[in-house]
Amino acid sequence: MTTMKLHWSPKSPYVRKVMVCAHELGLLPRVERVRSVAAMLQPNAALMADNPLSKIPTLVLEDGRTLFDSPVICEYLDAVAGGGRLFPPEGQHRWQALRWQALGDGLLDVLILWRNERERTQPLPALVEAFALKTRATLALLDEEAGALEAAPFGIGHIAIGCALGYLDYRFDAFGWRALAPRLAAWEQGIASRASFLQTAPTEG
């Protein structure tokens, strides 16, 4: 069986998205994980050989071609598995799934920038508050849509949002997001109990 090589980290929420998709699609045996560090201030030469942006996730296909970033890789894996399983092929269901994916990924973008800022010797208070405001606003919107998330077939939007909420737990535990979005928190309990999420929880390893 031919395998694909995934530049991987146990802490990256974007890598987790890819791994959840691979798990859900039954493709784990075809994905070889390669531990790759992608630090903003220290470009990784080995990673750059496959991705000049020095970012993860990066997927190297069987024929040597490369794909990045997580939305592209996830949709590729869905196509490899036959298509239409995590990415609805057309119509309003597709646009809703892609919209939720964009919300989840966008929330992750905010959280990662927020974490980088708070790690600075002198974080900029206005910037930290802007990140907090965007996070609260996104959680409020997702809380309103928790019922729609519950009713929709499981797909890439659920995965992206679930990974973003998992990152909130991992890096922003003191933020207490569940108190801000109780309906979303109830929905997240179901997502977090799936084997694909349990087996891809972020670790410091």
Which one-letter amino acid corresponds to residue 191? I
Residue 39 is predicted with a pLDDT of 82
Residue 159 contacts residue 20 (beta carbons within 8 Å): yes
Q: Counting beta carbons within 10 angstroms of the beta carbon of residue 33, is it exposed (0 to 12), middle (13 to 18) or buried (19 or more)? A: middle
Quick: pLDDT tens for 2-12.
689 999 999 99
- What pLDDT is stored for residue 2 in this prediction? 67
Q: Which tens digit of pLDDT belongs to each residue from 163-186?
A: 999 999 999 999 999 999 999 999
The model's pTM: 0.96
Q: What CA–CA distance (Å, rounded) separates 159 from 85?
A: 12
The answer to whether residue 71 scores a pLDDT higher than 70 is yes
d(CA 74, CA 87): 9
Q: Which fold has domain 91-194?
A: Glutathione S-transferase Yfyf (Class Pi); Chain A, domain 2 (1.20.1050)
What is the domain partition of the chain in residue ranges?
4-80, 91-194
pLDDT of residue 205: 63
The CA–CA distances, whole Å, from 9 to 6, 85, 114, 191 equal 9, 25, 20, 21
Architecture of the domain delimited by 4-80: 3-Layer(aba) Sandwich (3.40)
